[in-house]
Amino acid sequence: MRAAIYARVSKTENGQSPEMQLRDFTEYAKRRSWTAAGEYVDVGISGAKDERPELDRLMADAHRRRFDVVVVWKFDRFARSVSHLLRALETFDALGIAFVSLSEQMDTTTPAGRMVFTVLGSVAELERSLIVERVKAGLRNARAKGKTLGRPKVILDASKIAKLRAQGLGWKKISRELKVGVGTVLRIAHEARESGLENPSAKTFRTIARKHRLDLAGGSTVAAAFR
């Protein structure tokens, strides 16, 4: 089997080095008659950090099927949290890649190791189900109390856009000023032009006005500013 080795040491740790971990890995691989397929070493990086260049490279190579088994010294050397560990194990399992942790003596190439993986996976699935149920219960409770769910709607005052446009502001500056996307500003401007606000019918203008909170007395001014 082709074995990939991952090691990590943070700046705060003493008495441990990547070399020590790699030596243990090499001895283990020899006993198993495995071929070294690559070393991935993150040095000076805390376990809590999301950015780990070598771990990212390892996961990318896993998807390229460049090795058959991943060997780590300890769970917390590899993963930043239990959920991160379980996600990685599920990815390896889906790719047909085994996982070995020397300190925890977990080896998914063996029946015992597979059993441990299955138990961990079941615990993770249970936790996900409990989280989903808690979220659903929270939503039901909020609805029962009459609370509005989801992001609040942004009510855009089109007359403000017209005034800012008349002052010479560009679309990007207007969007920043009103704290909405440029696309939203342009969409309203486009609707104003398409609806013929220069000489709108009473019905058309009232519809646009209600939708975008236009000043009913200033239709032609608004339309001109949108150009």
- What contacts 130, CB < 8 A, 6 or more positions away? none
DSSP-derived pairing of the beta strands 98-101 and 106-107: antiparallel
C-alpha to C-alpha distance for 128 and 162, rounded to whole angstroms: 49
Among residues 10, 17, 159, 175, the one annotated as catalytic is 10
Burial 111-146 (b: 16+ CB within 10 A, else e): eebeebbeebeeebeeeeeeeeeeeeeeeeeeeeee
Catalytic residue at 201?
no
Query: How is the chain split among helix, strand and coil, in percent rounded to 5?
Result: 55, 10, 35
- What contacts 170, CB < 8 A, 6 or more positions away? none
Active-site residue set: 10
